[in-house]
Structure 1
Amino acid sequence: MRKRYNAAITALGGYVPETILTNHDLEKMVDTNSDWIISRTGIHERRILNDDSLATSDLATMAVKRLLEDSHINPDEIECVIVATATPDYIMVSTASIVCEKAGLRNAWGVDSNAACSGFLYALTLGASLIESNRYKNVIVIGADANSSIINYEDRNTCILFGDGAGAVLLEQTEAETGLVDNVFRTDGIGKEHLIVTAGGSLNPSSSDTLDKKLNYISQNGRIVFKAAIEGMTQTCTEIMERNHLEPKDINWLIPHQANLRIIQAVGDKLGLTQDQVKVNIQLYGNTTAATIPLCMWEFKEDFKENDNLLLTAFGAGFSWGATYLKWGKLRG
């Protein structure tokens, strides 16, 4: 009988830039105020990659180096790197290949995955599938975004929301009953116009005209995204819980995409969870797109106990959304 292998998270790393952009800083840049930002989003500050010589790969590399340092794994044992990002260093070259070179992962191949804010969840399942197939034993999955590179700091609707950062997890093969258990993912391209960077792709290449019209920056219909995010995250989490026979009391931790505190609270309430079951760090970092969930897990990893039930959920551009159920295992180090 063929053995069944699971993919467990055994190490984590995270990184945010040193430069802090506070709400009070933004008051000097656009027509807004800190109290309003906090009341509408829960965000107090965000980190910004304030160096033109650095990019998303640098954020990701720092997260990987911290993961390697904490886990004591030999870099040569890493076989694959998947980078979830909406802000790659280049259009042609994968950010993952650059991370492999910068982090010294000589035996790994790399690939990028772009599902915006849902990207890390999608990439996590792709990495887990490689492990479960028994073709790979050690895969690093990264969520990283330098959102400041696509933010118009004259647009108060978006500049208050986003920050830069990266989080990484090591997936390892295990025969224990831990690791990724189930997921529910959805995509609906009808939502693309409501959260998008219009220019820079093959449909609308960058030009002096797109730059003049500020089409190379994020634009968002906040009301539509807000409502769709609550509905999508709640629906996929509910489906996961029902088919795995999980009651609210069985969920030790909900790790939601950190887009807006009101969204996070609404999803938790609809799932019947208490505030103590929901992990939140949006007040410090804002929305770091694909990085929010791994950053949150990295920051709160000491709270997670072996066999805890974690429910991860995200919603992003596309529209893309989903939920992943995993059982926490034993960390290296």
Structure 2
Amino acid sequence: MLGFSIRASAESNKVSFDAQAVLPDNQRSDVSYYDLKVQPGATQQLTLKLRNTSEKPIRVKVEANNAHTNQNGALDYSKHQQKLLGGPTFEELISKPQTITLESGQEREVSFQLTIPKAGFTGTILGGFYCYEDTKDQENKGDGFSLENQFAYTIGVRLECSDETVAPDIRLTKVKPGLQNGYLTVFATLENPVPVVMSQLDMTATVTKKGEKQVLREVKKKVSFAPRSPFKLPISWENEPLKKGQYQLSILLKAPSGKAWHLEKSFAIKGEDEKLNQEAVEVKKEENHYLVLYIVLVSFLIIILGLVWYIAKLRRDKR
């Protein structure tokens, strides 16, 4: 769930370094990431082992980041200084990012100081060490490096200080139309305001006109929520133009435990929101139903007139 991962581009699958956690004595399980039971007011070092597997010197940057919920509904550790809905957060408890230089084949350890508040904390604090090659010098020299071909390791950190149970909670706080990568989208903001990890929930989200039952848009997927994290769910408008009016968003979330949340929120698409139709990269043209009806009626009239003329002509010919 939290674990050890590597992310590489399609252009370059060559990994230039390895990273792994040096697990401390207060590790609670046999997973490869940090799963720690900590004590109020305690301090300790969290150590990672880095090894250069390439044939040239490299610099590796290691950031200690808060876990958050990305737009795919997945736990993400790749953003530094990601704001959460409360604290304490992992970044508040851990020392600053570090950049380590490694010669070819060299192995080094890098340590971060973890400081637990004297009052402790309830629930779960979730974060991770995000390790990636620092290629700014190569980018400045124009050597073909970019963020597009960067790879990274993530090593998760899960901290718990007490055995007190925290009840899960999910809220639907805002619904607003906008653009995602230039495409018309309605964004729903959900929040997990409590220090609890919620994993692999089945989600069904539907949009209807307010007071009507016909489903205009539907999203079905599995989602996970990081502790104290908002989740901005994008609902594609499928290139249909936005039309002003009153709408209703309904979201059903089911946890593996069987617990369910049914969330609803009304929202408006206003006249000013229709301006997004001009900004979008693609919008389907609306069918002019009156024009279609006019064409059908004219065609029907022509057919009737043709039949009348044909029948009249037959009668004249008989005479």
Normalising by structure 2, report the TM-score. 0.24
- Higher RCO, 1 or 2 (CA under 8 Å, sep at least 6)? 1
Q: Is the helix fraction higher in 1 or 2?
A: 1
Specify which structure has the higher proportion of strand.
Answer: 2
TM normalised by structure 1 equals 0.23
